[in-house]
């Protein structure tokens, strides 16, 4: 069906909502497969400019009789892959969601390969947290952006948490099976996420996160919802890294015991980068989709004072919604 026919029956597409049903896991997974698709990184400047022009004009009510519904959504995907969701500004290349898989496959593969010496551990943990800082800055809130001080402190704490965990566990692994040393990078990444994300979003923990009713009306700020949202994001981030950083070491340990890595030492880094990329291609969208972007919370689970405030609004619903973030 062309857009002109859709317009004739007053059924314009709402581009402010995802294409797929976000109340189901499969719908959320499809959405994030589109969002994190690395192919979008190869879109030219002309394509990005055209996507912004088409999406802006369509949102302003213009019709495009030469575009199908699928084509419009494709332009929307290209637009979303390179522009900030709130400000519409062009994002730095490596900070885009479509860069997550290729960048993380390189970093993960190298962390898993170069873990035996202290300088190697320090460099790749620092490199990983520097990349995370770029991603956090690129995707910062448009309404309440992080200050330079907040970003700097978050960066320092994440680096400290990752390095402390990596070097501490590395020293403990000297007298145990070599396979345990291969899991140190994953433990470091998990520790950094548990430190970095809550600190970046500490304002939400203090002031609460915005709660909405089913019609999108603001009903209050909830610290309980903020804690749940941040916990969901931390679990998702750790889940993204887990398959590649747990299964890959097991594969490499097996190859080492068979003598393959000794006969072909050059294969270690490229093989681990490839395996990390293979796992991340699926684990990134799969774990982004674990929890709905607009998650729900029951009235009875909120802090008592907020429950009383909401009850005074005489609403006929007991379920409210919050944006969990990414």
Write the pLDDT tens digit of every residue in 15-38.
888 889 988 999 999 998 998 899
Residue 187 has pLDDT above 80, yes or no: yes
Predicted confidence at residue 191, as pLDDT, reads 84
Residue 46 has pLDDT above 90, yes or no: yes
139-143: long-range contacts, CB 8 A cutoff, minimum separation 24: 139/84, 139/91, 139/95, 139/97, 139/326, 141/86, 142/84, 142/85, 142/86, 142/87, 143/86
SS (H, E, C) the chain: CEHHHHHHCCCCCCCCCCCCCCCCHHHHHHHHHHHCCHHHHHCCHHHHHHHHHHHHHHHCCCCCCCCEHHHHHHHHHHHHHHECCCCCCECCHHHCHHHHHHHHHHHHHHHHHCCCCHHHHHHHHHHHHHHHHHHHHHCCCCCCCCCHHHHHHHHHHHHHHHHHHHHHHHHHHHHCCHHHHHCHHHHHHHHHHHHHHHHHCHHHHHHCEEEECCCCCEEEEEHHHHHHHHHHHHHHHHHHHHHHHHHHHHHHHHHHHCCHHHHCHHHHHHHHHHHHHHHHHHHHHHHHCCCCCEEEEEHHHCCHHHHHHHHCCCCCCCEEEEECCC
pTM of the model: 0.81
Predicted confidence at residue 153, as pLDDT, reads 81
User: Distances from the Cα of 12 to the Cαs of 1, 5, 23, in angstroms?
Assistant: 12, 10, 21
Residue 129 has pLDDT above 50, yes or no: yes
Higher pLDDT, 127 or 64: 127
Mention every residue, 6+ apart, whose C-beta is less than 8 A from residue 139. 84, 91, 95, 97, 326
Q: Give the angle 234-90-284 at the CA atoms, nearest 5°.
A: 30
Q: How confident is the model at residue 83 (pLDDT cuts 50, 70, 90)?
A: confident
Overall average pLDDT of the 105-126 stretch: 89
Predicted confidence at residue 141, as pLDDT, reads 57
Rounded (10°) angle between helices 100-113 and 268-288: 130
Predicted confidence at residue 29, as pLDDT, reads 93
Predicted confidence at residue 201, as pLDDT, reads 78
Predicted confidence at residue 156, as pLDDT, reads 84
Higher pLDDT, 193 or 39: 39
Overall average pLDDT of the 269-297 stretch: 91
Higher pLDDT, 84 or 76: 76
Predicted confidence at residue 51, as pLDDT, reads 93
Predicted confidence at residue 3, as pLDDT, reads 44
Predicted confidence at residue 142, as pLDDT, reads 55
Residue 14 has pLDDT above 50, yes or no: yes
Cα 76 to chain center, whole Å?
19
Residue 154 has pLDDT above 60, yes or no: yes
191/237 Cα distance (integer angstroms): 11
Q: Give 305: exposed, middle or buried? Use CB within 10 Å, 0-12, 13-18, 19+.
A: exposed
What is the percentage of the chain residues whose pLDDT exceeds 70? Answer: 94
Per-chain mean pLDDT for the chain:
85
Maximum pairwise Cα distance, the chain: 73
Residue 168 has pLDDT above 90, yes or no: no
Predicted confidence at residue 322, as pLDDT, reads 86
291/63 Cα distance (integer angstroms): 35
Residue 8 has pLDDT above 70, yes or no: no
Residue 7 has pLDDT above 70, yes or no: no
Q: How confident is the model at residue 11 (pLDDT cuts 50, 70, 90)?
A: low
What's the order of all strands across the beta sheet hosting 319-323? 218-222, 209-212, 319-323, 294-298
Mention every residue, 6+ apart, whose C-beta is less than 8 A from residue 279. 243, 244, 247, 248
């Amino acid at each position: 069906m062309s857009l002109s026919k859709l317009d004739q029956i007053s059924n314009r597409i709402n581009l402010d909502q995802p294409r797929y049903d976000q109340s189901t896991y499969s719908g959320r997974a499809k959405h994030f497969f589109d969002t994190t698709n690395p192919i979008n990184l190869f879109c030219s400047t002309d394509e990005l400019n055209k996507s912004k022009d088409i999406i802006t004009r369509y949102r302003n009510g213009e019709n495009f009789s030469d575009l199908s519904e699928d084509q419009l959504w494709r332009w929307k995907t290209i637009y979303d892959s390179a522009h900030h969701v709130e400000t519409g500004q062009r994002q730095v290349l490596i900070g885009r969601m479509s860069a997550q898989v290729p960048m993380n496959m390189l970093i993960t593969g190298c962390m898993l390969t170069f873990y035996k010496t202290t300088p190697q551990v320090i460099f790749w943990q620092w490199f990983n947290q520097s990349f995370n800082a770029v991603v956090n800055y690129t995707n910062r809130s448009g309404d309440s952006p992080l200050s330079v001080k907040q970003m700097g402190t978050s960066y320092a704490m994440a680096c400290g948490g990752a390095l402390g965990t990596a070097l501490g566990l590395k020293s403990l692994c000297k007298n145990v099976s070599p396979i345990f040393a291969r899991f140190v990078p994953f433990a470091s990444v998990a520790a950094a996420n548990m430190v970095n994300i809550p600190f970046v979003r500490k304002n939400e923990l203090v002031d609460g996160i915005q709660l909405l009713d089913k019609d999108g009306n603001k009903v209050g700020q909830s610290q309980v919802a903020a804690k749940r949202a941040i916990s969901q994001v931390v679990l998702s981030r750790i889940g993204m890294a887990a398959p590649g950083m747990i299964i890959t070491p097991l594969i490499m340990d097996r190859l080492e015991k068979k003598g393959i890595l000794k006969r072909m030492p050059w294969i270690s880094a490229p093989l681990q980068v490839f395996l990390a990329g293979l796992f991340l291609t699926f684990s990134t969208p799969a774990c982004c989709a674990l929890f709905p972007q607009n998650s729900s919370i029951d009235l009875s689970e909120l802090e008592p004072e907020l429950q009383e405030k909401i009850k005074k609004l005489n609403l006929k619903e007991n379920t409210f919604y919050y944006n969990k973030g990414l």
